[in-house]
Structures are given as C-alpha cells and as structure tokens.
Structure 1
Amino acid sequence: MTRPLSLLLGSVVFLTTLTAAQAQELNLYSSRHYDTDERLYSDFTAATGITINRIEGNADELIARMQAEGANSPADVFLTVDTVRLARAAEMGLLQPVESDVLETRIPSYLQDDSNQWFAFSQRARILFYDKTDVANPPQTYQDLAKPEYAGQICIRSATNVYTQNFTAALIAHLGVDAVQDWANAVVENFARAPQGGDTDQLRGIASGECDIAMSNTYYFARILRQGDDQITPDQLANIGWVFPNQNDIGAHMNVSGGGVAAHAPNRENAIAFLEYLTSDQAQQYFSAGNDEYPAVPGVGLAPSVAALGIFRPDAIDLSDIAENVGAAVEVLNTAGWE
C-alpha cells in the first residue's frame, strides 16, 4: 500500500510516493545543536506524519559512528554545519547520490556537491569586525589582514577550526597556494593573541579591547544584535563595526550548513522528502528567523537581525572547489605556525 506525500515549497509542490512501512520514521544524525531547529522537525512531522528520531553530536563522532555501523547503520540523513565534514562523509562512502528535481531547482548549483551527495540549506557570511574607535581604516579585503599596519590587532580562530580551514581553502581556490601561504605567514605576525575560543569569543575580544579586528560568521553577531550578550554591553556593541570583504572581486566567504542522504538509509524516500522540505520557503525562513542565517534558496526573506547587516556580494565559489582544497589549507596553516 502506498500513499502520496505532498509538501508546499513556496510555489513549488513536490510529490513523493512512500510505502506504508516507510511513511512513519526518519533517522537523523545531526551536528546542528540549535533549539530553534525544533520547529523544522515538528513542522515536517505535522506535514508528513513522519517521526524524526534524532542522534545529535559532534560531526566527527557521527561520521565515525556511521562508518562503524557500516551497512547496518540506521542513519537516513546526515546534517552538519560545514563543507569539510560533508565532503569527508562523501569521500568515506557514507552518503549517496540523490536525484531530485526539487533540490536541483531550489538550491543553486554552486551550493551542491558535484555528485549530488550533499546540499547546502543555509549560509553564514564570514566577515571582518573592528573597533570603530581604534581602527580608522578597517581592512576591506581578506588579503588586507596581512598588512603590517594591523600588527598586534587581530583575533581569529585556530587552524583546527573548520571555519578557518574552509575559508583558507576558498582563498587557495581563488589565489593559489603560494599566495595564500605568504598571506597566512603575515597574518600570524599580526595576531593580538594566540587563536582561541569560538566566533563569539572573537567579538568579545573586540569589546574587551584585547583586539581591534576579528573574523566571525555573521550569525554570531546577528544573534547578539537580537538578544544581547552578557559579556558585551550595549555601548561596546555599538562600537563594533563590520566589513563585508572583497566586494570588488571574489565577494564575502560563505560557510554553509547542509546534509545528504546516508549511504545505507533504510528510509531513503523519507530522507529525500526531508531534504526537499528543508528547501521550502517555510523551512528556509526558520533558518534565518530562528538562527540568524542566510537562506540557501534565493528570494526567501531575511530576519530583521540578518537584514540589519546590509546587502553584500557573496563569494559564489563552488563548494566542491573548497572541499578539494581543504588538505592544502591545513598544510598552509600549519606551515605558517597558525595555532
């Protein structure tokens, strides 16, 4: 016995045929840890009758678990918050190609894996923040971070952080390994402190006066704009300016959150339906309103906290190009002594 599944995606309706046995559950392995995602899951269940069983944890731990489970893995969908882990899961044979007109139509091609094993569903711009009282001429490009005038001013995350690796890999794709090696060497010389903490810690470093310039994903700052931070006063927040870098050439680097269907998914049709649901206008708006991210689907409205950051040109590099250069990025960072 089968029944049709119909979900509204803005002006797009997709139909998937599910067997009665398959129509009841979905096993989701996710490293997304945001409370606001609860609405994504509950609305999907309400629309489809499919119960989502969640296994949440560190992305590397989930990948290791899927590998250990092998063909007996119950995982249907793997979700994570960076290109590195998505590419790693695909390379390890833990994901499978998906043919979906909805995913192909809704998600821009540069936000898809070349072999359709994973897709991006939300984005965060990785931009530069600065102390408006201390920095008269803030850097306008990522390359500017290497300038001697910013010596002792930069707070940034460690070389082991996936955001740092993704960003460096994108630079390599644009500029080449040699140029990025020179850049990384010079940036290390400009550190205000050894790399430490998360993105919010970099913003707090500006507020405390420990550094004058920092790199962070936009959604951390937008979240502070929306709900405040117990270590940043309103006056300190008002004194933090921001720059969307490289607006005259490559554009601002974008990190993504995305997912794919597990290689041995026992509920494959449900898994595809869930990924398609994540492209709906409703789900895309949740990514922005609930977690201060940029939608992956063009034309979906932004939350006020995100829109307040302004219009900018994003880097439209193919995510597969970033994934291919992650190994080189790690080597560049290590060679530069980027801790």
Structure 2
Amino acid sequence: MMPSISRRLALSTAVLVAAFAPAVASAADVNIYTSRQPELIQPLLDAFTEESGLTTATIFIDKGLEERIAAEGANSPADLIMTVDIGRLDAAKQAGVVQPVEDETLEKNIPEAYRDSEKEWFGLTARGRVVYASKERVDADALTYEELADPKWKGRLCTRSGQHQYNIALIAAYIAHNGEEAAREWVTGLRDNLARRPEGGDRDQAKAIFAGECDVALGNTYYVGKMATNEKEPEQKEWADAIKVIMPTFENGLTHVNISGVALAKNAPNRDNAVKLMEFLSGDEAQKIYAELNYEYPLEPGIEASELVKSFGDLKPDTLPLDEIAKFRTKASEMVDEVGYDNGPQS
C-alpha cells in the first residue's frame, strides 16, 4: 500500500450528515448523496480535497435516494450520486434525477462498456459476481454459471435473496445472454439446489460455507478481501480462509461484473466542482485507493488490482454493456418471484 494512502486512511473521518440536505449545501464545495458506506469513500474524498482544495460533504441514503432527490426538486443541494450496482445507477437515470456529462477525461479513463451510452452515469470500479467454494469439499476450480443449476449441487448452494440487486443484475445478464426461457429454467435450478432459504449478505454465505451449511455460494469478489483483512471482526478471516474464489463464466468464457459508479445530479448547484471530483475518481490516484483499500477492480486501464485480489485468479469481464443488462432488471425481478426463489428449495 502506498504510504500516502495509508496515511489518509488513518486520518480519515467520515463526513456523515443525517439531517436535512440544505444544511450541507453551504458547508462544502461538493455535496454527495451516496448509498455507499461513508468509510469506504472518505479516503478518496480526503485525497480529492488535498489535491484540489475543494471540500466535500456526504449524506448516506441507503434506500430512497432517487425519491429524495426528486422530492427536493430544483432546490436539491445534491451535486453527485455515488452508488453501487448497475440497477441503482439505472434507477437514478430512469427517475430523471441525473444529467449527462460530456467530459474527455471520463471518456478516456472509463471504458465504454462501463459507462452509460447517454453519458448519464459512469462506472468507477468493478467487482466480479463469483462463486465462493469450500476449499475442503469442492474439488472444482472452474465452473460456468449454468452448472450451478446442475442437480449435482442439490442442497449445496447458498445465496442471499434473489431480489437483492447483485443477484438481479446477474439474472438480467443471464437473460441477456440466453433468453427468458433458459433463464427461468436456470433460476429454477438454482432454487432447487439451495441448502436453505436465501438470507443474509455475501459475507454470510462465506460464513455458512465455513460452518458446513453449504459448499458453494454466490458472492462479490471485494467481500473476500474485506473479510480476509478484517481486524475488528477476526472471525471473518476464518470465513475467508475456508473458501476459494472460482470465476464462473457464461458460454462466452467471461464472468459477470457489476460496478460502483457516479452520476451528476440533475440540479447540481456546484456543477463544475462536481465534475472535477468525477474526473478525480476516475484517475490514477483514486483508482489505486479503490484497489488497495476496498479490494475492487479499477476501471481505468493500466491500474492494477491489489495483490490479494490478484490471488483470486484471472478475471475476464463479460463484454456485454451494463446498460444492456439493465434493460432486463424488471424481468429478472419478476422471474425471482415467479419461481418462488426466496421461499427456498422445493422438491
């Protein structure tokens, strides 16, 4: 880890404003509404302030982010939206609370597949939707997504809710690749292979593997890095040590990835400052911080993942544009309910 990064992390304190947003508008040069935990992005914001002299303020909004900005209307103090998952970025776009950005730096730093075709959102980092597999009980080192529905995994699969945004994005990608009928059969197969009703988050799936409740699970790559280095809850290191990461693939041999991203708020009062922050987040220093502290894959070409993340194996990202995947989110959600996925395994 670079000395400057560790120093900023040690000095970093989250700027979390829980009251009304207008109180923030006069306090900072860039106001950020985010569904990301503030401690994950504060080191990046500290680095931006150190480089630019511009201050930032963050409001954490886990649910209803788009609704809040829409309700605030033209008086909203929001300059930027920072969130995770193509679903949330697309939801902000569909809600009409963001605006397009024409910017050469963003287009140079962020590959086309990870930004909106109408320039209303931009990816910043990627995370693979991969398989966590028991080191002790799973011999396989390669799997396809399709294989997870094979009856050989019956009673051996754990996942979080099928309606969670990460799983909805994966199912939407499966629809985009294989069509609705094949996707419905696949989701049904996953349901029947479940060891239990879907519950918890991705870390809980690793915990379940450690406890012997299941042998394989779906999870995001960065959680493994967070567990493996968790000094506050050292039991999570045991969960991480119990699993290996397998990069599952579609028929094209590529792995589904999702993103964290940023969008310019529709009525941003500090537009120019906000665009400067967008540019910074897509650039070298911020991308390295993302890689080393959050265990995410940088999107800027030439910036490498952390050594820990590299140890997971070679991630070959699916080339299907994320805004194409987003078109099937609603159908994916309907499919989860149609097959009763969250009710758990059925005979």
The TM-score, its normalising length taken from structure 1, stands at 0.89
Q: 2:336 aligns with which of 325, 333, 336?
A: 333
User: Unaligned regions of 5+ residues in structure 2, if any?
Assistant: 1-25, 343-347
Aligned partner of 2:302 in structure 1 is 299
Q: Is the 8 A contact 2:229 2:237 kept in 1?
A: no
Q: Is the 8 A contact 2:100 2:118 kept in 1?
A: yes
Q: Residue 127 of structure 2: SS of its match in structure 1?
A: strand
Distance 2:68 2:240 in 1: 41
Distance 2:212 2:204 in 1: 12
* Post-superposition offset of 1:137: 3.8
Aligned partner of 1:42 in structure 2 is 46
| Mapped pair 1:32 → 2:36 | yes
Distance 2:208 2:303 in 1: 33
Q: Is the 8 A contact 1:98 1:117 kept in 2?
A: yes
User: Unaligned regions of 5+ residues in structure 1, if any?
Assistant: 1-21
Q: Residue 229 of structure 2: SS of its match in structure 1?
A: helix
Aligned partner of 1:5 in structure 2 is none
Distance 1:179 1:248 in 2: 13
Q: 1:212 to 1:265 in 2, by over 3 A?
A: same
Q: Is the 8 A contact 1:207 1:232 kept in 2?
A: no
Aligned partner of 1:286 in structure 2 is 289
Q: CA RMSD in A?
A: 1.9
* Post-superposition offset of 1:34: 4.8
Aligned partner of 1:251 in structure 2 is 254
Q: Is the 8 A contact 1:129 1:214 kept in 2?
A: yes
Aligned partner of 1:69 in structure 2 is 72
Q: Residue 278 of structure 1: SS of its match in structure 2?
A: helix
* Post-superposition offset of 1:119: 0.4
Q: Which is further off, 324-333 or 309-318?
A: 309-318
| Mapped pair 1:212 → 2:224 | no
How many residues end up aligned between the 2 structures?
316
* Post-superposition offset of 1:45: 1.3
Give the aligned residue type for 2:201.
G
Distance 1:50 1:40 in 2: 13
Distance 2:154 2:50 in 1: 54
Q: 1:331 to 1:63 in 2, by over 3 A?
A: same
- Of Structure 1 and Structure 2, which has the larger fraction of its residues in strand? 1
Aligned partner of 2:176 in structure 1 is 173
| Mapped pair 1:264 → 2:267 | yes
Distance 2:123 2:242 in 1: 33
Q: 1:109 to 1:268 in 2, by over 3 A?
A: same
* Post-superposition offset of 1:233: 6.1
Matches within 5 A, 1:43-58: 43-58=47-62
Q: Is the 8 A contact 2:246 2:312 kept in 1?
A: no
Give the aligned residue type for 1:29.
Y
Aligned partner of 2:191 in structure 1 is 188
* Post-superposition offset of 1:36: 4.2
Per-residue CA distance 1:249-284 (angstroms, 9 max, x = gap): 241111110011001111111111111110111000
* Post-superposition offset of 1:231: 3.4
Q: Is the 8 A contact 1:37 1:290 kept in 2?
A: no
Aligned partner of 1:14 in structure 2 is none
Distance 1:277 1:190 in 2: 44
Per-residue CA distance 1:92-133 (angstroms, 9 max, x = gap): 110001000001111000000110000000111110111132
Distance 1:137 1:204 in 2: 20
Distance 1:282 1:215 in 2: 31
Q: Is the 8 A contact 1:154 1:214 kept in 2?
A: yes
Aligned partner of 2:113 in structure 1 is 110
Distance 1:44 1:149 in 2: 50
